[in-house]
Structure 1
Amino acid sequence: MKKVLLIMFVVGLVGSAQAQFGIRAGFSSSNFSDTNFEPRSGFHAGIYYRFGENFLKVEPGLFFSQKGYTGTDDQGRSIDEQLNYVEIPVLFRMSLIPAVNVFLGPQISFLASRNYQLGDVTSTSLEVLTAYDLSGVAGAQVVLPLNFNVQASYDFGLRSLNYFNTAVKNQVFKVSLGYSF
């Protein structure tokens, strides 16, 4: 019985007239909270599924995102910390007017890989920080003609990464272009 209900629920979501699949990619600028590091530029890309009524829609997604920071240490050596995550956001979109919506929602991110460069020393060890991150996402989107959209968002960490036993959180500003099928 549970399987039948689950199948009916999934078919209802997929068959909804207001449902849309889409792709999104763009620029990211990330840093750690409470540090004096410089932001690191990166990118993010993935897929989303949007469903709901005209005024309020729900949008789960699956994305790859680069995060981290840059800077220099006390001896003047350059630092470049690139953290690659698989993200699963669940956004709640509220339409202000037909072409503009604002959104807010939770996101869980799983650390996929790490590339730390300090001068000539490189490390890929994942043991210096937690394996997952919890954050909130807030932003706005403009719907463009031909099923395109552009959005800006801010990811604010809710959980300490315990980075080298230091309580820091991810902070990421994103600008992206999307296409809904």
Structure 2
Amino acid sequence: MKKLFSLILFIGFISTAHAQFGARAGLNSSNFSDTNFSNKQGFHLGAYYRIQLGVIDIEPGLQYSKKGYKGTEDISGIEVNERLNYIDVPVLVRFNLLEAVNIFGGPQASVLASRKYELGSTTSSSTDVIRGYDIGAVLGVGINLPLGFNVQASYDLGLTSLNYLNTDVKNRVFKVSLGIDILK
């Protein structure tokens, strides 16, 4: 009975909150932790649904994100280019410090959608060498602009080992985004 009451109270609270749907796109700079590879540039795009509760906003989202790394293989000296495409599902909590500035953080679940590995002229798209999911955390700062636009900078910190070729590495991604509130 207590759980039912809590659920009804939560639904009532959410239904009185202001919400908005939006779209976001931007650039990524990604790499694996504990490696000597270079950052891989990519992009992300997706949508979010922000529930405004005053000083705090809850923002679940869905994004397509290109991650990976590039560099030179130690043994052969041949160029390596690893492209990993993920579907990210962040659930962010935004703390509105000022009307225009917020800081945010929260968990993120990611599913590996595809992979393209290039070592010189050899390519592979097998996903067997890497874990098919990632659990991480997102931290960042956002600025609300006029006309419903917003910009943000965030850091995705992978918390689970990707077990990449039996090596303990984690995703590290810096993102810069431009968003727009579409429906209020």
Is residue 102–residue 143 contact of structure 2 (8 Å, CA) maintained in 1? yes
* Cα gap change, 1:12 to 1:55, in 2 (>3 Å): closer
Provide Cα deviations, 1:9-33, integer angstroms capped at 9, x if missing partner: 77975x5551000000000000000
TM-score norm. by structure 1 comes to 0.92
* Cα gap change, 1:126 to 1:27, in 2 (>3 Å): same
Q: Secondary structure at the match of 1:146?
A: helix
2-structure distance, mates of 1:11, 1:46: 28
1-structure distance, mates of 2:12, 2:29: 38
Q: Secondary structure at the match of 2:97?
A: strand
Aligned to 1:127: 128
| RMSD, aligned α-carbons | 1.9
Q: Which runs of 5 or more residues in structure 1 are unaligned?
A: 1-5
Q: Percent identity?
A: 57
* Cα gap change, 1:107 to 1:178, in 2 (>3 Å): same
The amino acid of 1:42's aligned partner reads G
1-structure distance, mates of 2:52, 2:128: 40
Aligned to 2:168: 167
Q: Which runs of 5 or more residues in structure 2 are unaligned?
A: 1-6
Aligned to 1:35: 35
Aligned to 1:46: 46
Provide Cα deviations, 1:109-134, integer angstroms capped at 9, x if missing partner: 00000000000000000000101000
2-structure distance, mates of 1:150, 1:100: 10
2-structure distance, mates of 1:111, 1:11: 36
Q: How many residues align?
A: 176
Following superposition, which runs of at least 4 residues in structure 1 exceed 2 angstroms of deviation?
9-13
Is residue 32–residue 169 contact of structure 1 (8 Å, CA) maintained in 2? yes
Superposition pairs of residues 49-68 of structure 1, within 5 angstroms = 49-68=49-68
Q: Secondary structure at the match of 1:19?
A: strand
